[in-house]
Amino acid sequence: MSLSSAYEIAQGVLGVDLRQISDLEERFIWMQRMNRAIRGPAFSQPKQIEAEVEGIRKDIRKLRQRIEALGHETLVMARQASQAAEYKAAEKRIAEASAARDDEKMMAAAKAFVELGDNPKDWHDIAAARHLAALEEGFRECAKVAVELAPIQSGRPKNQHAYMVAEFAVQSFTHFTGQKAGFWNGGDTPFMRYTADLCDAAGVKADLRTPIEAAMRKLGTRQ
């Protein structure tokens, strides 16, 4: 996969470097479309990804529950050990304030030391459980995407990457050239060469007619 080659191909056909479009919002939109098309789908094997993600979510949930189930003394010991550097630094500030006979700094340092063990949001076990819960929820979104991408029909799944490249090719060709994307009785056209070259840059090997026709239907483009 060569993203830089894809940009050069597009520039040669469209007459514009998508990376240099003057309008920042338009540049961002077309670069996002190009990057997504050339990189391809997030999940090449959605069913396997779904199963793996669900397994990870279960493991995360178990780990969070095991942390939360530990006894109070064990958790306190773990907190102190994991925050040893912070406690040592706090003790050093207290010693320095004491040596300097600075009551104001002494009070501030003592307060900071007490807060180390008196602020639940900073306790590593609670923070870990909170982040694990958030991570588990995040992986649920990954599973949802994988389910949506997984083919429901029997037989060989379609080449999703080819469809993504074809859609970008139709979209960009019609927008920047003002010409219709299409075929000449199945023969070679500037648009067909453009699409084929983008597929080469993306490492896609597929019969392009069906993906192009699907892109035309989706975008309301006709020959």
In contact, 110 and 91? CB cutoff 8 Å:
no
Q: Measured on CA atoms in the order 167, 172, 175, 177, is the torsion positive or negative?
A: negative
Distance CA 99, CA 109 (A): 13
pLDDT digits (tens, 9 = 90+) for 63-114: 999 998 988 889 888 888 888 888 888 889 899 988 988 888 889 988 888 8
Residues 31, 70: one domain?
no
Residues 99, 131: one domain?
yes
Residues 163, 140: one domain?
no
Residues 144, 159: one domain?
no
Cα–Cα nearest to 219, from 190, 181, 179, 193: 181
How many structural domains does the chain have? 2
pLDDT digits (tens, 9 = 90+) for 21-48: 999 999 999 999 999 999 887 766 777 7
Distance CA 78, CA 126 (A): 11
Residues 171, 211: one domain?
yes
pLDDT digits (tens, 9 = 90+) for 188-212: 789 999 999 999 999 998 888 889 9
Q: Which domain holds residue 202?
A: 3-40+155-219
